[in-house]
Chains A and B, each alone.
Chain A
């Protein structure tokens, strides 16, 4: 009977073959092919086949001041976004963690930004940031504060795109931390209450240590997402003004799809991949310890 079942459904290897084949086609092949591309110089606007250049693209990349500048911008963006989202997410999770009707409504409203497509959301913010008819400068005018050219000058441009990302993804961090806090054992908090611990002491010595694994998961996911930020910046500024918002992904996109230099674009993508993989591994190690 067992033999005939094997005959009907195939061996275990045969059963996983379709999945493995699918992963090979959609994931492993592009990865290997783009690694091959990093060793070649290939312009899409040139009818010539790719030309082998060895590690030439990597050498060029380390000498490319624009790469270093966009890396700096990406790190700045990621640090600010992740830090503020973590703090705000925790504050929100603690503030509206009870099951009152009001807090339930607040939680539902908070999730709305996360559900909007980033491109649509960025377009909404683009209109709000408009220096002439955007609502932000309009409200500032009421407070007798002079409005800014939010996306047209380098100083406010990066904070402006950071704010959009924070607005959209803080609810995600909140959701993770809220579910983490809700899953904590209530007896520990009851014991602390009986022992007369203050609200801050309960947070410092019970809530925070117990939610660290959830914080690390949120940190890992938000780090990976924000480091490869593209859509929001593409819609809002396309990397300008004065290159103030040109992150690594935006630069890679320009090299690949504006200059059509596919070898160099593949090299840039690989660097992003290496950075994200390395940093993620550190987070995972920390998570294991926690």
Chain B
């Protein structure tokens, strides 16, 4: 009997030792950090490369989930709201920042920065790239992929002496990059040669896409209008909004300088058409300027010119839309410190520069001034200037997703000829007013 008892005793001790050792081993194991990005994101190729390096360096495992753009916002919020804990760090668009903060889904990183600041902190990034992910004096992330919109044109066409001569003869002034919409239209009409597979311009006017509402905001600002007044009443249905939208719609419906199929394009579809040498001038996010200089993406290497976004009247100051992606840390993550270390590493000088070389729009001032980068991508000089000057952004409110959708629908109805610009914008403004009222913006 005693022998049996001793055997059981020894077995129990062995089991305890095994459990204790294995739990110690498990405790020493490096965490797995998970994130979510969208398919086709300009930052993804460099992210994958850098994450592989980080895994080798630290032993931390990083899992990247890729989903279509339309599902990124939805998956992120649903996981946070259901406390699924699937993601330790995420890369949201600044458009979604107020939603994430109001839901308490992302954590401030000020304490981490205090303990372990990023290289060259606090002068590492332009202030414009820290503004949109800050609230009540707290910073919620580091920028990773920027995107001010610029106007691009084909330098080879604009510099061609025969084209210059023909343009001057036809329109009575020099063929130089357009500063106003009337010049833009003249140039788009001049270069619109469908029989030669060249379009004047190309828009991304697909309802449900990312770009349509952004394009409306750009038009609105360039005609001197605004989205909301200071008390959050919608004013985008002003004359500026109507004229801007009408001009945008006329590019396709009246003048035919953008393909009819542009109503099926989002920004991921119209950019490559320009890079494929089928467009004379267009506006787009800055990564198109980088991609135009990359052999695997572009047929127009060395031929891309860039300038400021046009305005309807030179009395209105040039502005542009800036929204950007930033790394944020999930409030529900059990590995916040590890996640911060990774984010900090992804945003260091070396990785920011490398990301730029791989097609991302970098965010560090050091990258903007790097001679190697400026040689390959000279437009970085303008990005720094654009960010230092006045840029505008989408309304920083949690209700933005609804506003964006309603404006997209309004624009789509005007393009389809179902409503006039005034009717569609008045209807959208009324719906937005209702949303804002329900959300409690007008309690005075």
Nearest CB on A from B81, distance (A):
4
Residue pair B261, A241 in contact (C-beta under 8 Å): no
Q: Which parts of A141-181 form the interface with B (CB within 8 Å)?
A: 149, 151-154
Check A237–B398 contact: CB distance below 8 A: no
B264 within 8 A of A: yes
Determine the main DSSP class of B at the interface with A: helix
Residues of A within 8 A of B70 (CB): 238
Report chain B residues within 8 Å CB of A130.
Answer: 264
How far, in angstroms, from A151 to B74 measured CA to CA in the complex?
24
CA A159 to CA B398, docked complex, whole Å: 36
In angstroms, Cα B329 to Cα A246, docked, is 35
| Interface residues as binary, A251-279 with B (CB distance below 8 Å gives 1, 0 otherwise) | 00010011110000000000000000000
- Most chain A CB within 10 A, of B78, B81, B418, is at B81
Which residue from A151, A153, A242, A254 sits with its C-beta under 8 Å from B405? A254
Instruction: Kindly state the interface size class of chain B when it binds its partner.
Output: 20 to 34
In the assembled complex, the Cα of A104 lies from the Cα of B263 at a distance in Å of 43
- CB contacts (< 8 Å) of B103 on chain A: these are 44-47
| Cα of A238 to Cα of B264 in the assembled complex, Å | 11
B413 within 8 A of A: yes
The yes or no answer to B416 lying at the interface (CB within 8 A) is yes
Does B260 have its Cβ within 8 Å of any Cβ on chain A?
yes
B332 contacts chain A at the CB level, 8 A cutoff: no
Known interface pairs A44-B77, A149-B264. Does A239 touch B207 (Cβ–Cβ under 8 Å)?
Answer: yes
A243 within 8 A of B: yes
CA distance A213 to B438 in the complex (A): 50
Interface string of A231-244 (1 = CB under 8 A from B): 00000011111111
B279 CB to closest chain A CB, in angstroms? 14
**What is the bound-complex CA distance between A258 and B403, given in angstroms?**
11
Tell me how far the C-beta of A123 lies from the nearest C-beta in chain B, rounded to whole angstroms. 11
Instruction: Kindly supply a per-residue 1/0 record for chain B positions 249-283, scoring 1 wherever the CB is within 8 Å of any chain A CB and 0 otherwise.
Output: 00000000001111110000000000000000000
Determine whether A132 belongs to the interface, using a CB cutoff of 8 Å to chain B. Answer: yes
B339 to nearest A CB, angstroms? Answer: 21
A-B residue pair count with CB separations less than 8 angstroms: 84
- Bound CA–CA A244/B419 (angstroms): 13
A154 to B263 Cα, complex, angstroms = 10
| Partner pick for B206 among A47, A152, A258, CB 8 A cutoff | A152
The answer to whether A257 and B208 have CB atoms under 8 Å apart is no
Cβ–Cβ < 8 Å partners of B47 in chain A: none
Instruction: State the Cβ distance, B230 to closest chain A Cβ, in Å.
Output: 24
Determine if A44 and B81 form an interchain contact, defined as CB atoms under 8 angstroms apart: yes
List the B residue with the shortest CB-CB distance to A151.
Answer: B264
Q: Given known contacts A242-B207, A258-B405, is B263 in contact with A45 (CB within 8 Å)?
A: no
A118 in contact (CB, < 8 A): no
A122 smallest CB distance to B (angstroms): 13
Q: Is the CB of B415 within 8 A of A242?
A: yes
B413 x A243 contact (CB < 8 A):
yes
Instruction: Give the residues in chain A near B208, CB-CB below 8 Å.
Output: 237-240
CB distance from B98 to the nearest CB of A (A): 8
Using CB atoms, name the residue of chain A closest to B411.
A242
**Chain A residues with CB below 8 A from B67, complex form:** none
Verify B261–A149 contact, CB threshold 8 A.
yes
A113 part of interface (Cβ distance < 8 Å):
no
CA gap between A176 and B368 in the complex, in Å: 67
Interface centre among B77, B259, B416 (most CB of A within 10 A): B416
Which one of B73, B100, B207, B263 contacts A149 once the chains associate, using CB atoms below 8 Å?
Answer: B263
Q: Kindly list chain B residues whose C-beta atoms are within 8 Å of the C-beta of A152.
A: 206, 260-264
- B222 near A: Cβ within 8 Å? no
**Residue contacts A-B, CB under 8 angstroms, 29 given:** A44-B103, A45-B81, A45-B99, A45-B102, A45-B103, A46-B398, A130-B264, A131-B260, A132-B261, A149-B260, A153-B263, A154-B416, A154-B418, A238-B70, A239-B208, A240-B206, A240-B208, A240-B409, A241-B206, A241-B415, A241-B416, A244-B416, A254-B405, A257-B74, A257-B78, A258-B73, A258-B402, A259-B401, A260-B99
Nearest 9 CB-CB pairs, A to B? A240-B207, A152-B263, A238-B208, A242-B416, A152-B264, A45-B99, A44-B81, A131-B261, A242-B413
| A interface residue numbers (CB < 8 A to B) | 43-47, 130-132, 149, 151-154, 237-244, 254, 257-260
Given contacts A45-B398, A46-B102, 10 further A-B contacts (CB under 8 A): A45-B103, A47-B104, A131-B261, A152-B264, A238-B70, A239-B208, A241-B416, A242-B207, A242-B413, A259-B405
